[in-house]
Chain A
């Protein structure tokens, strides 16, 4: 596992910088600590866990420093190791196969459709117009703050599925295996995550 993780880590590493070997490991905390911490934090959404993952990453990197190939920057290399630690973390979280009713579509989302499944028109409960600026607005800090807050309101497994799929860009089959959920439950988790995030952003970010 470790070998595999480290060799892929070098491949997936970031782009920046000419490879010039590693800096003194004593400086890693200063140079990359906050970056790695934030990387982990937005994905696992728990600062204690994020901190532990950074520690595991630095340790693993220290033990493997002789195998650093210089194909990526030092930071890219460390980030690649951290990514594997994050996936391992999700794998260890594996929960029950069945979804609790709370993880399915809650009434608040189901009720936006009428009895034949069409978006309700009176009052209008379908998606609002986000405006022409939406594609630029999603690049701003306000969007990120809102997305973070909205993710926190999701049930954990829905949020995990969303993070792995939309932030990490993992393959669906890989995520199903990582989270230990069936394919059909996986589609429900993501559908729910997207529907709720969409609505939450509409209300709290665009204030529509």
Chain B
């Protein structure tokens, strides 16, 4: 799909800004880091200012949060549902270990 005039203008503006401010490439790294530590105020302001203008980085940030939520859910739910099981041999081994220990 060809870009609309508006999208083209926005892209040009983002390119201009990237010369004087952190670019999308810098901001994506900062967004990630900001999820694991408290960034200096200057960095937090850069991120907020950037995502206010850049819809793609806004989307990126939202998707990283979804990824976090999904990973937690996976870590939680996967164990309660049917999934990979210990093989019968492994279970026998484990039982034997406990039996030995009990003596």
Residues of A within 8 A of B (CB): 25-26, 28-30, 33-35, 37-39, 41-43, 47, 51, 54-55, 58-59, 62-63, 110, 113-114, 116-119, 121-122, 126-127, 129-130, 134-135, 138-139, 141, 143-144, 147-148, 162, 165-169, 172, 187, 190-191, 194-195, 197-198, 201
Contact = CB atoms under 8 A, between A and B. Distances in A.
Interface centre among B7, B69, B70 (most CB of A within 10 A): B70
B14 interface: yes
B47 to A, nearest CB: 14
B45 interface: no
B33 A34 contact: no
B36 A195 contact: no
Given A55-B93, A166-B68, A172-B36, A114 B15 contact: yes
A139 B67 CA distance: 11
A38 B64 CA distance: 25
A194 B67 contact: yes
Contacts of A166: 67-68, 71-72, 75
Contacts of A127: 56, 59-60, 63
A198 B63 CA distance: 7
Contact of A135 (B56, B66, B101): B66
Interface in B49-88: 56-57, 59-60, 63-64, 66-75, 77-81, 83-86
Nearest to B77: A144
Contacts of A54: 86, 94
Contacts of A47: 84
A119 B56 contact: yes
17 contacts: A28-B98, A35-B80, A37-B84, A55-B93, A55-B94, A58-B94, A59-B101, A118-B23, A121-B8, A135-B66, A138-B69, A144-B74, A167-B72, A191-B29, A194-B67, A198-B67, A201-B67
B48 interface: no
A37 B90 CA distance: 10
B71 A191 contact: no
Contact of B24 (A38, A117, A167): A117
A29 B94 CA distance: 7
A190 B32 contact: yes
B97 interface: yes
